[in-house]
Structure 1
């Protein structure tokens, strides 16, 4: 039987004290003691009465007392209870909204806007900002196939945006330079301007209807060339992290092992991207507190993440912040949500 409490089960006195402890902890990062609470306006309770309620809340698993302090701080369970049922969010002011929109809407390529968004999230939260870049397949300008010897060839893709990438193809049998050239020319001439997924679909339609002028060997090369690019574009998340240095503030010095663990976790971009990916289907901003998320369980960190959409309403990426569990959720959550909506307006 769980000993976790819900808000209706708490007395008004316990609820008020619990809220003050959590808000005090989130503001200062330090445990809150009974003397501090007794000085808060509106309680009208003696320190002894307050200590009794604190002990009750600790017994319910909502508060904990660090060994080095007589004060209390919320547990992960307590933070979840507060965030889900007691927190009064502070919506961004008109001035803050204008500042966010101005910063991420500056003229320039979309990559610059994504960089600015990640830095903005870091500034807003005092922690690290993260943006997962939309999966945008390049549109094809040219594809060249070059023999490498043996059963291998090099595919060189040039996108309409000027980007160049290379991939090595493993073939069933050696291919001549002329066959590779024919396949590359065919893709470039017939399928330029499409994404690779669109190109592959169009190519297969031509093969099925018999309209392709390629021989069997060249058709196989075309299929392999298109497939390797499409597969790569779908698998490769790109993550922009800014402001990790914010995690090394003065309050972190007493808990340097946790911060070191968090910084190591952030280095695993693939795992962080997978965590953000789990928020893609959310209707609103998601909050992961401490061990609720396996990746950051050891460092006891929180992640606030929100999907962002393009102008047609399709989810194209996720953004968020990561930091200690004492993040100012009431301020950061609506800021992350508004930033996601603002970014979506400039995504084509």
Structure 2
């Protein structure tokens, strides 16, 4: 069934539809015609409202979960409401101050991001997410430890004391002297640079034949930097905060869905891919229910916004995950504001 566009609904149908959706998002309960007649100024009888609701159900916008239990929006109905009828409400001054305070705290960037994400989770009553590229370490020392005749362990020590190891394939004709020569060269020439800066210098020096290396050691240097850079680029930092907020009083009636959602949140690689799909474009992305395969079983919604630096580069993605019954009008602007605040951290 094709969902009708909003302009094809009559004024009466739009009014009833909006009341049903807003009431459902507020209470989580199906809405009956008698309830609508009491809370609205439509001047319609319950019978007239029932007729309109029946038309909306036939159009695929509303559904009746149980006989005589009232109506609730379908996934298509929620999409129509979010895209064509929702009136966003900006975060309050207190909410903005809370987000900015967390983002501005002194300390490592990752701690500020985690704290800001936790604040977003608390304000939205959803699980908060942020995805950023793995920070490139500033290099301090290198080493190569032989493992076999054709493999070695490349050891990178960062200025912050972090240590990372990668297994690299050795070029033919390698000997212990070439391993040491490559390690000495990298420690002497590349200390204080990021991986990207180190690769650029290596390419420049080797291309100009200025590096005091034999061909085997030069090949080893290139391989060592390449395996660090490629692996790091595939491992973005995903921070998830506030999963417990998904278990509230309303969730007690739908524990299977909540359990499924919590299980899905364990699949961080899949979540990272989902958030990464929101990197393109300027607008906030809203995935409702089965519109994304990852959270189709739990019937959850994802709101995600790219975090852009002043020069337009996408430096991360921030968002929330919650039930399809969440306050989109309030949460979407909150995610937008958090993205703008995080941009100042990551710029």
**Alpha-carbon distance change, 195 to 10 in structure 1, aligned in 2, over 3 angstroms:** same
- Residue in 2 aligned with 1:266? 265
Local SS of the residue matching 2:302: strand
The superposition leaves residues 280-301 of structure 1 with CA deviations (integer Å, 9 ceiling, x where unpaired) of: 1220211111111111111111
The superposition leaves residues 46-71 of structure 1 with CA deviations (integer Å, 9 ceiling, x where unpaired) of: 11111111110000000011026611
Local SS of the residue matching 1:124: helix
CA RMSD, 1 decimal:
1.5
C-alpha distance in structure 2 between counterparts of 1:197 and 1:278, whole Å: 24
Asked if the contact 1:289–1:302 (Cα under 8 Å) also holds between the matched residues in 2, the reply is yes
- Residue in 1 aligned with 2:342? 343
C-alpha distance in structure 2 between counterparts of 1:159 and 1:295, whole Å: 36
Asked if the contact 2:302–2:321 (Cα under 8 Å) also holds between the matched residues in 1, the reply is yes
C-alpha distance in structure 2 between counterparts of 1:68 and 1:201, whole Å: 68
Question: What are structure 2's unaligned runs of at least 5 residues?
Answer: none
The superposition leaves residues 248-296 of structure 1 with CA deviations (integer Å, 9 ceiling, x where unpaired) of: 1121122222212111111110110011001112202111111111111
Q: CA deviation at 1:201?
A: 2.6
Q: CA deviation at 1:90?
A: 0.6
Asked if the contact 1:152–1:169 (Cα under 8 Å) also holds between the matched residues in 2, the reply is yes
Correspondence list, 1:166-315, <5 A:
166-173=165-172, 175-315=174-314
Q: CA deviation at 1:95?
A: 2.8
C-alpha distance in structure 2 between counterparts of 1:329 and 1:77, whole Å: 15
Q: Structure 2-normalised TM-score?
A: 0.96
Correspondence list, 1:1-80, <5 A:
2-67=1-66, 70-80=69-79
Q: CA deviation at 1:94?
A: 2.4
Q: Structure 1-normalised TM-score?
A: 0.95
Q: CA deviation at 1:204?
A: 2.2
C-alpha distance in structure 2 between counterparts of 1:146 and 1:226, whole Å: 15
Local SS of the residue matching 2:345: coil
Question: What are structure 1's unaligned runs of at least 5 residues?
Answer: none
C-alpha distance in structure 2 between counterparts of 1:291 and 1:241, whole Å: 21
Asked if the contact 1:135–1:316 (Cα under 8 Å) also holds between the matched residues in 2, the reply is no
Local SS of the residue matching 1:263: helix
